[in-house]
Amino acid sequence: MSRSFRAGSLVLAAIAFTAAGTAQSPKATLNIQLDKPLHAVSPTLYGLMTEEINYSYDGGLYGELVRNRTFHDHDWSGTARWDLAHTGDAEVTMAIDDTEGPSEALSRSLLLDIKQADPSNEAGVRNEGYWGMAVRPDTTYKGSFYAKGETGDMGPVHVALVNDNSGAALASATSEPLTTGWHKYEFTLKTGKVETSSENHLQLTLGHTGKVWLSLVSLFPPTYKNRENGNRIDIMEKLAAMHPQFLRLPGGNYLEGDTIEERFDWKATLGPLVDRPTHRSPWNYQSSDGLGLLEFLEWTEDLNIKPVLAVYAGYSLKGAHVPPGPGLQSYVDDALDEIEFVTGDPNSTKWGAVRAKLGHPAPFPLTYVEIGNEDWFDRSGSYEGRYAQFYKAIKAKYPQLQLIATAPLKRTKPDVIDDHYYKRADEFFDFVKHYDDADRNGPKIFVGEWATREGSPTTNFGAALGDAAWMTAMERNSDLIVMASYAPLFVNVNPGGMQWESNLIGYNALSSYGAPSYYAQSMFAEYLGTEVPVSTIEGEGHRFFYSVTRDSAKGKVYLKLVNATSSPKPIQINLSGAGTISASGMLISLSATNPAETNTIAAPTRIVPEKTGLKNLSSSFSHTVPAYAVQVLELSTK
């Protein structure tokens, strides 16, 4: 009896499971009045936010292959990521020398003491890279290092990219002979028909005894748009495909630092790499500062987007703050200098001239400046006064700039407030009306950080559904929400690479991939539209969301439909007031079998959008959104 009862429940469970995947929910009706615009869509709605977290720049976007290139990262031995290399009976030791360095900024180096070596038995060091070093066939790598020999007869340094498993040199070069003073040595490594792999390291060896000091060992693969000191091509291409309008820089917590000394001190990130001291990021590792302020700006230029510049405002994460008043003035002046560096005339302003000297005479466009980051954490209550001091000084010199506050204020009305939301999908589903009735006479809103936090190291399809639902809400409210940027954007998926779970783009040394939400966000941004028409929906049930926008100049209507349920959702779509709807249109569809399904570094394109043609469209047509799906319908008006 009990046996057959149990068997029966199994059958029932199986039927229920099948039904959940196929049964349709009741039909919804969406009425859209295309001739009744509610408001314009903010053209800058979707942008990017990044910071040095999860090895976003070093070991991520920034092209550098050598890890701990300046010997400022520390492990127990002080020489993290470096190991000794020797052939035959060569002998060498290594240690950090805090008394020798190539510049004031880099006053430390690696001391190699070569006790035994000859041209056939060399000794030196090797660097493991950021979880390996990507080597590809027929590729030119540009490298350099700073070195000094104990005597003038140490000879050259032999540099090679070596495969970890075979020990084979995949490309090699020989430097000029070392001298007894610090010099920069440049080299080129060119591979032939080698196999693409990341299981490689960089090796530097000498065939002579004596002491050698090394610093700033660098190796770059080809970069996006061939920028010197530039960015990884695959990741930049992924960013470009998101159709962003701006880059919020340089953070996030990274702007503030754990302490005031560890803030993003932009002046220390300019100029030759040898003059950049590097600094500890609040995510617990050393930032090379190779991606400094000018590189951030060039990154915006390469993507043809605008910077949203966040300036340090006198508060750091562990609670230290600079009270408003004379003590804060140097930070205000620093922000004014920074704005001048970004926008100043190269001939008539001091910092514009510095920028020009560094190779970029043209000013960068700037509309928004953000004062601090998440200053609601400042329990001292000093933000009100700090914001006012920055606001007054910046507006006096740059009245055209829009100033963003990072916490609610009582005394000053900021131009824009930066709101941050990190939620689970169900929380976002319940949150979509948040801005519908918000005050339209107050500051504009910048959702400077937001994400559905489900899935790790990159988010899953359930998160994409939460994100897409939230994006429909932001589009509907884009008269108020002028900009929005997801965070964090990047994660190095290797063990130890992640400090924050739930990220959008994952990578290792060799390749990168987008989470399902990466595609949802790209779809929303590509088919943005310019105005929101009046619309109403009935019968949509739970966890179904939509946004409708129009671009009259292009003769397009964009319907974004999000079905976060396990049942297909039929919908009757009625459009009025736009003449004729063309019979053919386009469907871009992103869907999954269940919310946990995801993309990974090993299965990078399991969930990607599919484009198909739509037929038999008219001003009233029926469409079914599959279970667990985010769709964009592009309709043409005639």
Closest by CA to 487, choosing from 41, 42, 54, is 54
Q: How far is the CB of 48 from ligand AHR (least distance, A)?
A: 12
310 in contact with ligand AHR (CB under 6 A): no
- Residue 455: Cβ-neighbour burial (10 angstroms; 0-12, 13-18, 19+): buried
Q: How far is the CB of 122 from ligand AHR (least distance, A)?
A: 44
281 in contact with ligand AHR (CB under 6 A): no
Which of the stretches 7-15, 61-69, 248-256, 542-550 binds ligand AHR when contact is defined by CB under 6 A?
Answer: 248-256
Query: What DSSP character marks residue 304?
Result: T
Which of the stretches 224-232, 249-257, 286-294, 393-401 binds ligand AHR when contact is defined by CB under 6 A?
Answer: 249-257
Within the chain, how many helices (H) and strands (E) appear?
A: 10, 32
Give the bridge partners for 114, in sequence order.
92, 210
Question: Which of 56, 231, 373, 492 forms a contact with ligand AHR (CB under 6 A)?
Answer: 373
Query: What DSSP character marks residue 542?
Result: T
449 in contact with ligand AHR (CB under 6 A): yes
**Residue 236 DSSP SS3:** helix
Q: How far is the CB of 50 from ligand AHR (least distance, A)?
A: 9
196, two tokens? 């693409």
**Residue 298 DSSP SS3:** helix
Question: Which of 247, 322, 487, 632 forms a contact with ligand AHR (CB under 6 A)?
Answer: 487
Q: Would you say 373 or 637 has its CB closer to ligand AHR?
A: 373
- Applying the rule CB under 6 A, the residues between 40 and 79 that interact with ligand AHR are 51, 53
CA distances to 54, 135, 428, 491, 508 from 495, rounded to whole Å, are 11, 21, 30, 11, 10
**156 cis-preceded (ω within 30 degrees of 0):** no
Question: Which of 132, 221, 251, 516 forms a contact with ligand AHR (CB under 6 A)?
Answer: 251
End-to-end CA distance of the chain: 68
370, two tokens? 């953000």
Q: Would you say 51 or 295 has its CB closer to ligand AHR?
A: 51
Q: How far is the CB of 402 from ligand AHR (least distance, A)?
A: 20
Q: How far is the CB of 451 from ligand AHR (least distance, A)?
A: 8
Which of the stretches 136-144, 191-199, 250-258, 581-589 binds ligand AHR when contact is defined by CB under 6 A?
Answer: 250-258
Contact 207/158 with Cβ under 8 angstroms?
A: yes
Q: Would you say 102 or 250 has its CB closer to ligand AHR?
A: 250
Q: Would you say 53 or 85 has its CB closer to ligand AHR?
A: 53
**CA 138 distance to own-chain centroid:** 29
Strand boundaries in 90-209, DSSP class E:
91-97, 109-116, 123-127, 140-149, 158-163, 169-174, 183-190, 200-206
Q: How far is the CB of 305 from ligand AHR (least distance, A)?
A: 19
Q: Would you say 161 or 447 has its CB closer to ligand AHR?
A: 447
Residue positions counted in the chain: 638
Query: What is the Cα–Cα distance from 266 to 572, expressed in whole angstroms?
Result: 54
Which of the stretches 245-253, 531-539, 545-553, 626-634 binds ligand AHR when contact is defined by CB under 6 A?
Answer: 245-253
Query: What DSSP character marks residue 12?
Result: H
Question: Within 13 Å and on the Cβ side, how many CA atoms surround 381?
Answer: 2
Q: Would you say 51 or 58 has its CB closer to ligand AHR?
A: 51
Contact 146/214 with Cβ under 8 angstroms?
A: yes
Q: What is the DSSP string of 558-603?
A: EEEEEE-SSS-EEEEEEEESSSPBPS-EEEEEEE-SSTT----SSS
Question: Which of 262, 370, 374, 378 forms a contact with ligand AHR (CB under 6 A)?
Answer: 374
Q: How far is the CB of 83 from ligand AHR (least distance, A)?
A: 33
Q: Would you say 420 or 623 has its CB closer to ligand AHR?
A: 420
CA distances to 61, 104, 109 from 150, rounded to whole Å, are 37, 20, 14
Contacts with ligand AHR by CB under 6 A: the residue count is: 11
Order of strands across the sheet that contains 169-174: 82-86, 123-127, 200-206, 158-163, 169-174
Q: Would you say 173 or 489 has its CB closer to ligand AHR?
A: 489
Q: How far is the CB of 252 from ligand AHR (least distance, A)?
A: 3
Query: What is the Cα–Cα distance from 451 to 57, expressed in whole angstroms?
Result: 20
Q: How far is the CB of 381 from ligand AHR (least distance, A)?
A: 20
Question: Which of 488, 497, 514, 529 forms a contact with ligand AHR (CB under 6 A)?
Answer: 488
Question: Which of 260, 500, 552, 606 forms a contact with ligand AHR (CB under 6 A)?
Answer: 500
**Residue 264 DSSP SS3:** coil
Which of the stretches 111-119, 218-226, 247-255, 434-442 binds ligand AHR when contact is defined by CB under 6 A?
Answer: 247-255
421 in contact with ligand AHR (CB under 6 A): no
Kind and range of the H or E element at 418?
strand 416-423
Q: Would you say 70 or 452 has its CB closer to ligand AHR?
A: 452
Q: How far is the CB of 522 from ligand AHR (least distance, A)?
A: 20
Q: Would you say 94 or 293 has its CB closer to ligand AHR?
A: 293
Q: How far is the CB of 466 from ligand AHR (least distance, A)?
A: 16
Question: 18 CB contacts (<8 Å, ≥6 apart)?
Answer: none
Buried b (16+ CB within 10 A) or exposed e, 482-495: bbbbbbbbbbbbbe
Q: Would you say 253 or 382 has its CB closer to ligand AHR?
A: 253
Q: Would you say 257 or 595 has its CB closer to ligand AHR?
A: 257
Q: How far is the CB of 488 from ligand AHR (least distance, A)?
A: 5
Q: Would you say 70 or 406 has its CB closer to ligand AHR?
A: 406
Q: Would you say 378 or 449 has its CB closer to ligand AHR?
A: 449
Query: What DSSP character marks residue 118?
Result: B
- Would you tell me which residues interact with ligand AHR (CB under 6 A)? 51, 53, 251-253, 373-374, 449, 487-488, 500
